[in-house]
Amino acid sequence: MRYAEVSVNSPAAQRRTFSYAIPDGLDVREGQAVLVPFGERVLQGIVLELTPVPAVEDTREILDVIGSEPVLTPSRVSLARWISDYYLSPLFDAVALMLPPGFERKAISFVSLTHPDADTSSLNDDQRKVVDIASGQGRVELKQLEKALGKKKASTVVSQLVRQGILTRSYELGPVRVKPKTELYIRLTDDNLNTSKLSIKQSALVDFLKERTVPVPWAEARQKTGCGKSVADALANKGLIAFYEQEVKREPISYIDIQTSQPLELTADQQSALDSIKSGLEKPGGAPDVFLLHGVTGSGKTEVYLQALAVAVKLGKRGIVLVPEIALTPQTIKRFAARFPHRVAVLHSRLSLGEQYDEWRRVSSGDCDVVIGSRSAIFAAQPDLGLIIIDEEHEWTYKQDNSPHYHARSVALKLAELTGALVVLGSATPDIESYYKAQRGEYQLLELPQRVVPSAGAPMPQVEVVDMREELKAGNRNIFSRSLSQAINEAIAARDQVILFLNRRGGATFIQCRRCGFVLRCKRCEAPLSHHIADDVLTCHQCGYKAPVTDVCPNCNSRQLKFLGIGTQKLEQEARYTFPRARQMRWDSDVTTGKSSHEAILRKFRNKEAEILIGTQMVAKGHDIPSVTLVGVVSADTSLNLPDFRSGERTFQLLSQVAGRAGRGPSGGRVIVQTFSPEHYAIQAAAGHDYASFYEQEIAYRREFHNPPFTRLARLTFMHTNDAICQREAERVKKMLVEEGDTRGIAGIDIIGPAPAYIHRLRGRYRWQLILRGSGLSAFLSPVAFPRGWAIDIDPMALVQ
Ligand code: ADP
Ligand code: ZN
Ligand code: ZN
């Protein structure tokens, strides 16, 4: 007998596998999807290991395999185990990241009579009832018996009858969630049809079909002939034409306006970066290299990626390219598709399940040289993986904020180790941790210090920092400093375009009573409510709660509520008032709800349908708008003042990115940053385009305050509707963890807290958190049993959540 360790799709399975015996005649391999009995149910599972001996004595048998081929390769099996071990997530959740889209299905249980004329004389009433129901039909769904006898009784009686050999169980997977897509086609049944007896419209349709030599989709025929469905139906009823369904492949990339592009002649810096990557790819065996490609926006990183991918393809390998979701625009996809026509797969969350499914099938069958996608594309079933590229590697969106809380960069590094693939991390503002590793020689640092300048003279834009305290002193209470308004006026006069950046949505960002100081808050989260101007409601940015606008203070009944703070909507209003001659557009998540509205906004702005574009960080990311000559950062302080050790890094990254939007065209650019903390090192360094000096200061602080990369963090959050219970549970767990450390002799782990989370109450539940600091946190926490309500985040991106 052989045995399999199976990861079972049940929340009860948590982080462990279960041992099952493999029945004779069933071909079961590692990575294979199977059906297994689990308690009273039948569930999907994935075989993670084959063993000669089971982990437990009593094993049940695997019922069947799902599909003849394994769905996971051995390296993906190891990757799933690592994710579960490291991020302490349920094993099947980790496995599920790599399964084909729509794979997860319920199994349906059936029973049938083993012999049609079974001897039922010795059965009791319940048993006979079941047999009667079963004998009326070929097989019955277990659910139907449960309805007739009650859940518990049905399951006992069925088990008895199965043991006596009277009933046999069988299983079937529930309905498929994704199917190949089909379209309605239309054809003539007889080519020599005489049209003389037909109506004008009918004969027009017939004539159209006669002329066509390839299969005709009905939608096309309708459009070209102007005939409605009733015309076609009438012909179909006479048997003259027929409708039929035919499979069509969903291809997210439209190649209609994509022309194949040739590799550009590289600059010296690009060439030496490519040479290093090339020799890494050609290196036989050994630990795979990791490269950190540090280059300002427009320095030609993407061209290096493209040529590195071409090298990998030449060597018979394939690549995965990760980009932040927001940067996954048709523009980006086009650049890759133009270099590798029809050999690129796209994976991101805006694809329909069907599109994801078709792309997954293309990738796993080896049809694509390059997979490009957001975070989860790292799990694509790309065979012969040789190169993983993570663009904008510092982006926080690479971390998943629900379970499994994985970071795509950490996963990529692990996957590279398992498959021998090489990793290229690219950024204009590398994550402090990545740059630290490059400094220590763990990664190879590749530098592209200059912009590639297609037209002569487009250096990095000049950045001016405006001290808003001085504006107040000078009597300017406007949100636009004198410098910024003057620059905007000049740009408008020169028919140039302007971007105004403010990292806060909405109108007023809080509403306070001038008499008693009361601030209006969300009933469920206690977050201050902000005012949305367009639909004139008060809303909570954490949970979406909406309340009508009021002018009466709920606390003291005075009519002195004042709308304070400024978000993008309010900024838009102010800008209209101050610059009445300029047309404006706004770009934030309040206006981009549709599938392609990011593109629509960008296109309009590129077509110069507005002079001023106002936006949150969306405007900062990865878009080339050549005619923008001025970028105004309305307040650099929103991210600077968050109580988080990464606030300096975050601010530096944001400002650098925003600044990178200016001067992408030949006329150069200018950036104005407004702040109440002009002396802050993050602002100073961003203004000077000086990553090195930012890094020196930041790494010194990290060392001094013992923060990553000098240690690791874990955030443990407990949620409960009752604040006192929540606090007590957090205190209890802290005590337990301290004792755990003592008994296991583990030293060097700090446990900070418990303290209320930064967002103390979210959607009606209070949150308390513990922060753990030290190394080996996953191993420390792994054996600890946490009750329901706890969430564990290893390597959290932010402590203020
Ligand atoms: P990044 O990815 O660093 O922002 P890109 O690769 O997008 O930079 O390059 C910026 C611009 O410069 C693009 O328009 C690109 O086509 C162009 N470019 C890149 N490398 C070269 C080169 N070697 N010669 C000419 N133009 C280049
Ligand atoms: Zn009041
Ligand atoms: Zn809320």
Tokens of 513: 């009573």
Closest residue CA from atom 15 of ligand 1: 300
Helix residue ranges, H only, 88-199? 91-96, 125-136, 142-149, 151-163
Distance CA 549, CA 541 (A): 16
Name the burial class of residue 152, with classes exposed (0-12), middle (13-18) and buried (19+) by CB atoms within 10 angstroms of its CB: exposed
Tokens of 551: 């002018």
- Tell me phi and psi for residue 495, to 5 degrees: 60, 30
Write the pLDDT tens digit of every residue in 46-71.
Answer: 999 999 988 888 899 999 998 888 99
CA of 182 relative to ligand 3 center, distance in Å: 43
Distance CA 737, CA 757 (A): 19
Distance CA 466, CA 633 (A): 10
Write the pLDDT tens digit of every residue in 435-493.
Answer: 999 999 999 999 998 888 654 445 678 899 999 889 888 888 888 999 999 999 998 89
Judge whether residue 737 has pLDDT over 70: yes
Ligand 1 atom closest to Cα of 448? 3
More confident of the two residues 588 and 355 = 355
Ligand of minimum distance to the alpha carbon of 265: 1
Ligand 1 atom closest to Cα of 303? 6
Closest residue CA from atom 23 of ligand 1: 266
Angle between helix 301-314 and helix 330-339 axes, rounded to 10 deg = 40
Q: What is residue 625's DSSP assignment? A: -
Is 297 close to ligand 1, i.e. is its CB under 6 Å away? Answer: yes
Segment 39-45 shows an average pLDDT of 86
pTM > 0.85: yes or no: no
Write the pLDDT tens digit of every residue in 402-417.
Answer: 889 999 999 999 999 9
How would DSSP label each residue in 724-789? HHHHHHHHHHHHHHHHHHHHTT--S-EEEEEEEEEEEEETTEEEEEEEEEES-HHHHHTT--PPTT
Helix residue ranges, H only, 501-646? 568-578, 597-606, 637-640
Beta-sheet pairing, 584-587 with 612-615: parallel
Q: Which of these, 331, 328, 327, 366, lies nearest to 346 by C-alpha position?
A: 328
Ligand 1 atom closest to Cα of 622? 4
Is 426 close to ligand 1, i.e. is its CB under 6 Å away? Answer: no
Write the pLDDT tens digit of every residue in 499-527.
Answer: 888 887 776 777 888 787 788 888 876 77
Task: Tell me how far the alpha carbon of residue 223 is from its chain's centroid.
Answer: 38
Closest residue CA from atom 6 of ligand 1: 300
Of the given ranges (290-299, 371-380, 555-564, 764-773), which has the lowest mean pLDDT? 555-564
Closest residue CA from atom 11 of ligand 1: 298
Write the pLDDT tens digit of every residue in 536-547.
Answer: 888 877 777 888
Cβ atoms of 609 and 650 within 8 Å: the answer is: no
What is the average pLDDT value for the chain, to the nearest integer?
87
Is 299 close to ligand 1, i.e. is its CB under 6 Å away? Answer: yes
Cβ atoms of 201 and 231 within 8 Å: the answer is: yes
Is 427 close to ligand 1, i.e. is its CB under 6 Å away? Answer: no
Name the burial class of residue 337, with classes exposed (0-12), middle (13-18) and buried (19+) by CB atoms within 10 angstroms of its CB: buried
